[in-house]
Homo-oligomer: A and B are copies of this chain.
């Protein structure tokens, strides 16, 4: 006995009606990918947010917290805890800016740079597995289409 036939539609993925909404497909697919990414990062002591922040800091040493938050599309206030985490792990340092003593310049440490490289490779490997069904061209096409969505 397979059970469940209270419903009218005997089969056919129950969320078919939702699939006409692009946002729904995006959300489901993204949930899969990010959950996977989180799993990859976790053993390295990173979360998606902290990895993203670390990456920006490694690629733009001296960046300010406000710039960082804006780059990642997060609130300044929420970036504080993320940066705290990175600092406590000794992957970055906070340095008060000389010419604007309100601002703080974020600098990656050697350990931070190493950890970022390691995590980046792990993520690339994992994405390669996750997007194995898509060719390189299709992956680029996907990213390109996503980049053309505008609020």
How far apart are A77's CB and chain B's nearest CB, in angstroms? Answer: 17
Bound-state CA distance A131–B133 (Å) is 25
Total count of chain A residues near the partner, CB < 8 A: 72
Give the number of copies in the complex: 2
Asked if residues B4 and A64 are in contact (CB atoms below 8 Å), the reply is yes
Name, among A22, A26, A29, the residue most crowded by chain B CB atoms within 10 Å (CB to CB): A22
Asked if residues A21 and B146 are in contact (CB atoms below 8 Å), the reply is no
Across-interface contacts of A138 in B (CB, < 8 A): 145, 148
- A: residues with CB less than 8 A from B are 3-4, 6-9, 13-37, 48, 52, 55-56, 58-64, 67-68, 70-73, 97, 100, 103, 105, 123-124, 127, 130-134, 138-139, 141-143, 145-151
